[in-house]
């Protein structure tokens, strides 16, 4: 039966130990001191995990690239059972690390992250005596849509040694990995950022054992389709989540007429002097699910009730007006997501001035047709189309982390304590 390895990719040792305890209660077999944890806490992370889990396999995710012998020795003496190195490092480093591993009674795990031909390299590593190889898609690669299962089958067929797999796995991914022959299933974010790591680990373990509800007898679980619909992902997060994911990206200061949220592909509209003709014409040019982003004026409306009704009939997802709108009560009754800077009574005249589909500059932000927007009660965040999938994925990770921190605060801690602010303040 495959082992479930929980990857403790956090910075704080106390948090790591607590999450590990809960994950073990849920069925996790191996415990990994993740690379961020080791860089933050050093070998003390491994010592603490060995003390807390004396009977468990402790993996030190060192990602050794050089000085193989001394780094393996260091981790082994701290209490590691398995030590990782990069499969891409020189053979001399791997051979030296193997000698040290044999001397101190630990196993090496070679991480295929970034290797151009994983199956070929895995075969070579097995010839050298490496007992475990890892098919791994890193966090940054996951954010742009890459996943490990497409490579797993190829590597599994190339070697007889143990094969581990890591990279954004959840219950369905873990079950599919087992069906493809993986011996070790490495799960990080899905467990460590869960409000209930025990339940998440338990769910993954049950999936690995073929106990997920609805599985057909004798049939392996199929991997759930990746949620690659950008709009769906954006709608599942908040604008603060998205802003954080985009390195604190600025937010357009607009507000909805009632509590609501919208997201979609942008169609831009430039208006002039309160002329609302192009804003209305854009409704007919937009595709179903689009969001109009309109640059208007602060003292005269370019949008109102009739335009809103037209947008609803065309199947638009919403409207963001960086300027003024009117007919507030009527739009509220329609229940259509409209966001604006200001509400006024007066409107301009439809003379045909302005443009549709042009690049806008809104408070210093570049907005283009084809970009994506998420708007809620906090404001609106524009996502460049080139980074839309990545940004949405990263926003989901921000949301997961905040859920975990919220759980710790609800248990009686404070934000300052869970964030360890004093420890991480910049030293001058």
pLDDT at 97: 94
The pLDDT of residue 402 is above 60: yes
Q: In whole angstroms, how far apart are CA 149 and each of 122, 136, 146, 185, 389? A: 15, 9, 9, 11, 19
pTM of the model: 0.71
The pLDDT of residue 275 is above 90: yes
The pLDDT of residue 261 is above 70: yes
pLDDT at 213: 42
Q: In whole angstroms, how far apart are CA 184 and each of 18, 130, 156, 227, 378? A: 22, 15, 12, 24, 42
The pLDDT of residue 6 is above 60: yes
- Average confidence (pLDDT) over 134-156: 75
Which comes out higher in pLDDT, residue 118 or 424? 118
Q: For 357-372, b where at least 16 C-beta lie within 10 A, e where not — what string?
A: eeebebeebebbbebb
Could you give the 3-state DSSP secondary structure of residue 17? helix
pLDDT at 139: 65
Torsion on CA atoms 342, 343, 349, 351, rounded to nearest 10: 40
Q: What pLDDT digit, counting tens, does each position of 349-401 carry?
A: 999 999 999 999 999 899 999 999 999 999 999 999 888 888 998 999 899 88
Q: What pLDDT digit, counting tens, does each position of 39-55 carry?
A: 999 999 999 999 999 99
The pLDDT of residue 288 is above 50: yes
The pLDDT of residue 28 is above 90: yes
Among candidate residues 126, 193, 109, 116, the one with its CA nearest the CA of residue 404: 193
Q: Report which secondary-structure segment, H or E, holds 25.
A: helix 13-25
Q: What is the DSSP letter of 226?
A: P
- Average confidence (pLDDT) over 100-124: 91
Q: What is the mean pLDDT of the chain?
A: 90
Q: Give the confidence band of 167 by pLDDT, cuts at 50, 70, 90.
A: confident
CB atoms within 10 A of CB 240: 18
Q: Give the confidence band of 419 by pLDDT, cuts at 50, 70, 90.
A: confident
Task: Yes or no: say if 321 and 296 are a contact pair by the CB < 8 Å rule.
Answer: yes
The pLDDT of residue 172 is above 70: yes
Dist. CA 319–CA 196, nearest whole Å: 37
Q: How many residues does the chain have?
A: 428
Which of 20-34, 175-189, 202-216: highest mean pLDDT? 20-34
Task: Yes or no: say if 388 and 230 are a contact pair by the CB < 8 Å rule.
Answer: yes
Q: What pLDDT digit, counting tens, does each position of 240-252 carry?
A: 999 999 999 899 9
Share of the chain above pLDDT 90, in %: 72
pLDDT at 367: 95
Dist. CA 153–CA 149, nearest whole Å: 7
Dist. CA 22–CA 202, nearest whole Å: 10
Q: Which is it for the CA torsion 23, 24, 27, 33, positive or negative?
A: positive
Domains assigned to the chain: 3-208 (3.20.20.70), 233-389 (3.50.30.40)
Task: Yes or no: say if 391 and 246 are a contact pair by the CB < 8 Å rule.
Answer: yes
pLDDT at 115: 87
Task: Yes or no: say if 192 and 397 are a contact pair by the CB < 8 Å rule.
Answer: no
The pLDDT of residue 181 is above 70: yes
The pLDDT of residue 286 is above 70: yes
């Amino acid at each position: 039966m495959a082992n479930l390895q929980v990857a403790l990719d956090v910075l704080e040792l106390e948090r790591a130990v607590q999450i590990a305890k809960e994950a073990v209660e849920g069925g996790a077999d191996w415990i990994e001191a993740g690379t961020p944890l080791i860089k933050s806490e050093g070998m003390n992370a491994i010592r603490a995990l060995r003390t807390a889990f004396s009977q468990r396999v402790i993996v030190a995710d060192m990602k050794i690239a050089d000085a193989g012998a001394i780094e393996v020795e260091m981790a082994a003496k701290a209490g590691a059972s398995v030590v990782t190195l990069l499969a891409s490092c020189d053979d001399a480093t791997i051979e030296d690390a193997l000698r040290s591993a044999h001397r101190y009674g630990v196993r090496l795990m070679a991480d295929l992250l970034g290797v151009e031909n994983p199956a070929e390299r895995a075969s070579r590593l097995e010839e050298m005596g490496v007992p475990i190889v890892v098919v791994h898609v890193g966090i940054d690669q996951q954010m742009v849509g890459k996943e490990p299962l497409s490579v797993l089958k190829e590597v599994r067929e190339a070697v007889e040694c143990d094969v581990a797999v890591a990279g954004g796995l959840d219950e369905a991914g873990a079950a599919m990995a087992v069906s493809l022959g993986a011996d070790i299933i490495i799960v990080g974010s899905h467990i460590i950022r869960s409000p209930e790591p025990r339940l998440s680990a338990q769910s993954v373990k049950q999936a690995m054992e073929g106990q997920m509800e609805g599985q057909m007898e004798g049939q392996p679980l199929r991997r759930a389709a990746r949620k690659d619909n950008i709009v769906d992902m954006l709608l599942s997060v908040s604008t603060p989540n998205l802003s954080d994911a985009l390195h604190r990206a600025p937010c357009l200061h607009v507000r909805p007429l009632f509590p609501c949220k919208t997201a979609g592909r942008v169609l831009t509209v430039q208006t002039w002097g309160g002329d609302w003709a192009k804003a209305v014409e854009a409704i007919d040019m937009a595709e179903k699910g689009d969001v109009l982003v309109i640059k208007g004026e602060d003292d005269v409306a370019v949008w109102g009730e009739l335009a809103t009704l037209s947008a609803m009939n065309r199947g638009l997802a919403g409207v963001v007006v960086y300027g003024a709108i009117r007919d507030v009560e009527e739009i509220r009754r329609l229940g259509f997501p409209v966001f604006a800077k200001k509400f006024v009574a007066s409107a301009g005249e439809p003379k045909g001035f302005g443009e549709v589909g042009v690049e806008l500059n809104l408070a210093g932000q570049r907005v283009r047709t084809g970009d994506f927007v998420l708007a809620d009660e906090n404001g609106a965040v524009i996502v460049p189309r080139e980074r839309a999938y990545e940004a949405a994925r990263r926003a989901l990770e921000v949301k997961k982390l905040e859920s975990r921190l919220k759980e710790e605060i609800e248990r009686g801690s404070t934000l300052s304590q869970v964030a360890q602010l004093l420890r991480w303040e910049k030293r001058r």
